[in-house]
Structure 1
Amino acid sequence: MNRETTNRIRFVIEDLLPPILRDSALFRAAAKLVWGEHIVKLARFRERAPFLTAGEYEDLYRHHPRVHAGTDNSAACIARIVDAIDGTSVCDVGCGTGALLSYIRAANPGLTRLTGVDFVVDDAARLDGLEYVAAKIEALPFADGEFDTVVCTHVIEHVLDYRKAIAELRRIARRRLIIVVPREREYRYSFNPHFNFFPYTHSFLRAVHPVPQTHLCIDIGRDIFYCEEPVQRDLEQAA
């Protein structure tokens, strides 16, 4: 299933079904027909977010069904991302299988370094010329400004301390930071292990505050595409 299809499904269950139904036992029963008891496990996972151990967190993600083949990004988001790459080094934080990095490399043949980061890299495609690093987004093992462009798609919604995660992304980005998150509302029962929900683009802008002067935040088919040039880059351009 591709992202475009799941976004259409999300429109129906998130925007058309009233909250009184989405949070009900009736919806839970219907959802169980699709994912069984996992739908209940996801609800408990969110409820216990502040108390989860690292082992519990990793266990759920290892057993969570992969909905999208390859990448969680839509074709429109991929096109925006590959067009926004600046410089010769790229780090994809939350790289998953490495599919997005392969799109980035194909569209930007002049890149000299491509690095994928995830807290579990077991299912990475291990494509030639791509470096994979196992690490948590809240503590990235890189120097300040080590990469020209840092990309992070469909990760921030999963991270409890998302402000710390965003600070780390900004720390290692020298020229440009690109973030994609789903535009969605929170309900008790859902088909994803998300902690953070951004129903509008301005909801996400509050999450990334303070926002640098040079930035873009737009809605692309129920996903929020955010791109910024770090404050230091703004200062360099103004000098």
Structure 2
Amino acid sequence: MKRETTNAIRTVLEEVIPPFIRDSGPMRWLFRRHWGTLVDDIERFRERIPFVTADEYREIYERLPRVQHETDNSAACLDRILSEIRGATVLDVGCGTGYLVDWIKHRRPELDITGTDFIIEDGTRTRHPEISFVEGPIEALPFADGSFDTVICTHVLEHILDFRQALSELRRVTRGTLILVVPQEREYRFTFNPHLHFFPYPHSFLRWLPPIPEDHAIESIGRDIFYRERIA
């Protein structure tokens, strides 16, 4: 399913259906019809997140079915990301299966691109031999200060409990441009994803980002929030 399709579904679930219906028993029943007991397990996971172990965290993510077709980014977000890349070296944090780094490499083959995630599957390296992949957690990125001209992190920060530590690491390894994308969504009691942070408006996300450099941009693209800052 493409991101544009899931964004349309999310608009109905988050904006059209009133909250008292969205959090009701009948809606939970409908979610269970499709997702099974995973709906209840994700709810408990979010309620207990300050106490969840690393194994429990990994287990809930391993159980998640993949909804998006290849990438969590819409075509409009991909184009916006590409337009903001500066310099010769690029890092994608939370690269997953490598879709974004591969997409960028095909359009900007001269770039030196690295992908990092807390787990890199062997198949990812095999599919993209021209791209460097390094395992590491976003809270402690395995790179020196200012290692990359452009650092990209899309659809990751909403999952991270220690948001500010993750943001600090992203800025630490950035030499020039930092690009962030998060879903623009509202929190409800039960859902089909284990997101920990919710940003219904661009300014909801901006509150987490100080200190913010003067050279920055933030906007809604579909039902996602695009943010870019340039470090002098």
Alignment TM class, shorter chain as reference = over 0.9
Match of 1:4 in 2: 4
Q: How does 1:123-138 map to 2 (within 5 A)?
A: 125-126=124-125, 127-138=128-139
Q: CA deviation at 1:123?
A: 6.7
Match of 2:120 in 1: 121
Q: Distance in 2 between matches of 1:26 and 1:10?
A: 18
Structure 1 stretches lacking a partner, 5+ long: 234-239
Match of 2:175 in 1: 174
Q: Does 53-62 or 119-128 show the bigger shift?
A: 119-128
Q: Distance in 1 between matches of 2:208 and 2:106?
A: 32
Q: CA deviation at 1:150?
A: 0.3
Q: CA deviation at 1:108?
A: 1.4
Q: CA deviation at 1:159?
A: 0.4
Paired letter, 2:113: L
Bigger relative contact order, structure 1 or 2, given CA contacts below 8 A and separation 6+?
2
Given that 1:146 and 1:173 are in contact with CA atoms closer than 8 Å, whether structure 2 keeps it comes out as: yes
Given that 1:98 and 1:124 are in contact with CA atoms closer than 8 Å, whether structure 2 keeps it comes out as: no
Match of 1:203 in 2: 204
Given that 2:3 and 2:69 are in contact with CA atoms closer than 8 Å, whether structure 1 keeps it comes out as: no
Q: Would the alpha carbon gap of residues 204 and 124 (structure 1) be closer, same or farther in structure 2, given more than 3 Å must change?
A: farther
Q: Does 59-68 or 170-179 show the bigger shift?
A: 59-68
Given that 1:82 and 1:103 are in contact with CA atoms closer than 8 Å, whether structure 2 keeps it comes out as: no
Task: Give the percent of matched residue pairs that are identical in Structure 1 and Structure 2.
Answer: 54
User: When the two structures are aligned, how many residues end up with a matched partner?
Assistant: 230
**For 1:193-226, what per-residue CA distance to the aligned partner results, in whole angstroms no more than 9, with x for missing partners?**
1000000001111011111100010000010000
Match of 1:47 in 2: 47
Q: Distance in 1 between matches of 2:40 and 2:13?
A: 17
Paired letter, 2:115: G
Q: Would the alpha carbon gap of residues 115 and 124 (structure 1) be closer, same or farther in structure 2, given more than 3 Å must change?
A: farther
Match of 2:230 in 1: 229
Paired letter, 1:119: F
Q: Distance in 2 between matches of 1:88 and 1:71?
A: 23
**For 1:30-55, what per-residue CA distance to the aligned partner results, in whole angstroms no more than 9, with x for missing partners?**
10111111111111110011001011
Match of 1:187 in 2: 188
Q: Distance in 1 between matches of 2:211 and 2:188?
A: 28
Q: Would the alpha carbon gap of residues 54 and 8 (structure 1) be closer, same or farther in structure 2, given more than 3 Å must change?
A: same
Given that 1:91 and 1:147 are in contact with CA atoms closer than 8 Å, whether structure 2 keeps it comes out as: yes
Match of 2:96 in 1: 96
Match of 1:236 in 2: none
**For 1:147-203, what per-residue CA distance to the aligned partner results, in whole angstroms no more than 9, with x for missing partners?**
110000000000011111011000000010000000000001111110000000011
Q: Distance in 2 between matches of 1:15 and 1:93?
A: 30
Given that 2:202 and 2:220 are in contact with CA atoms closer than 8 Å, whether structure 1 keeps it comes out as: yes
Q: Distance in 2 between matches of 1:120 and 1:24?
A: 36
CA RMSD of aligned residues (A): 1.0
Q: Distance in 1 between matches of 2:90 and 2:68?
A: 23
Given that 2:77 and 2:221 are in contact with CA atoms closer than 8 Å, whether structure 1 keeps it comes out as: yes
Q: CA deviation at 1:109?
A: 2.1
TM-score (norm 1): 0.94
Given that 1:91 and 1:117 are in contact with CA atoms closer than 8 Å, whether structure 2 keeps it comes out as: yes
Q: Distance in 1 between matches of 2:78 and 2:110?
A: 18
Q: Distance in 2 between matches of 1:121 and 1:133?
A: 7
Q: How does 1:25-44 map to 2 (within 5 A)?
A: 25-44=25-44
Q: Distance in 2 between matches of 1:158 and 1:86?
A: 27
